[in-house]
Structure 1
Amino acid sequence: MRPIILTDDVELEITVESRSENYMLTIDSTSNVLNTATKVWIKKADYNVKVIQRASFDFFETLRKKLLWGEDIRTYNQ
């Protein structure tokens, strides 16, 4: 599985097909077990959230680390 980045105007509808009745969905480190009949819609929120950011924070370095950009995932070892 690889993460994807989309523009903020994209709305996704996700359905899961599986041999089992349930699947696990994890969002922001929170996991839920859902039935395969459950559809998931993903879209940009209608509100903004203000966050505090450290001066040493590098957004693109964080993306590289979390999305494993530049890593060979066949040999990546966490």
Structure 2
Amino acid sequence: MNKIVSATEFKAKCLRIIDDMQKDGIPVTITRRGKPVAELKPKREARKDVFGMLRHPEYRFEDPFSPAFEGPWDAELDGDERQG
């Protein structure tokens, strides 16, 4: 549930309203003549970039075109040869 504040009240108490919003995390809707004109929300923490996650050495391949698995695939084996 958003807190609703008039533009006049926001102008007079903006720093206090911002501090309260940061503490409780509740967004503030600013109105002018009873109609919403702006919404103030706490800043969310930045998400890690997906592309940056792939920079770690464990995600790198010496030969990216070589097979990932050297042995035969289960689809190539007969029912007796399958493990498990």
Q: TM (normalized to structure 2)?
A: 0.22
More strand by share: 1
Structure number with bigger Rg: 2
Task: Flag the structure with more relative contact order, 1 or 2, with Cα contacts below 8 A and sequence separation at least 6.
Answer: 1
